[in-house]
Amino acid sequence: MTPEARGRAEQFVRPLYAGLDGVQTFDRVARLHARVDALKGDAAVDEDLLELLILFHGVVDRLGSLAPGGRLDLFLRGLELPEDLARRVRAGLGRFHDDPRGPEEELLHDALLLEAAGVAAAAERLMAAGKKRLPLARAVSHLDPGPPRERYRTARGAALGAARREEAERWIAELRRKVDADG
């Protein structure tokens, strides 16, 4: 994929990452790049496929049908991508959450799980509960440390995810103790 095509793909998806409240979430793409780089090591991957999966992963629900002839397919054709690559992008976007196949989909899957694991992710969930006006004690009692090891598809993802989850479990336990003591 040429740098021009990558730039056009980014211009296409960037506005789709704006939430209903106007909050822009495209920065998640850069975080996923960093997570994927940490996971892949020297694994052989199709860099074009991986790049497109990362760019489009968060806007799948806004693209309509992933079938040939749909909005995404028309855009990918406009980038003059090979049909095989466009087909693999459409298929990967339809399954990377639940049934990732191939190293590119598995890397994206695990990078997204890592985004949901650890202390920072748990703190974000706590802040979201606060926005819903849940009482602190209740929010903390239901706080999730992130995905378990068995959900990861790569060995590196499982190891990193387990470490992040353990750290979050310790943080949540300490937070629960302090909330209970103050309550």
**pLDDT the model gives residue 20:** 60
**pLDDT the model gives residue 121:** 93
For residues 119-149, b (16+ Cβ closer than 10 Å) or e, as one string?
Answer: bebbeebbeebeeeeeeeeebbeebebbbee
How far is Cα 112 from Cα 61, in angstroms, rounded to an integer? 16
- Which residue type occupies 120? A
Question: Is the pLDDT assigned to residue 24 strictly greater than 80?
Answer: no
**pLDDT the model gives residue 69:** 83
Confidence tier at 23 by pLDDT (50, 70, 90) = low
**pLDDT the model gives residue 21:** 57
The pLDDT tens digits of the residues spanning 119-135 come to: 999 999 999 888 889 88
| Range of lowest pLDDT (18-27, 33-42, 132-141) | 18-27
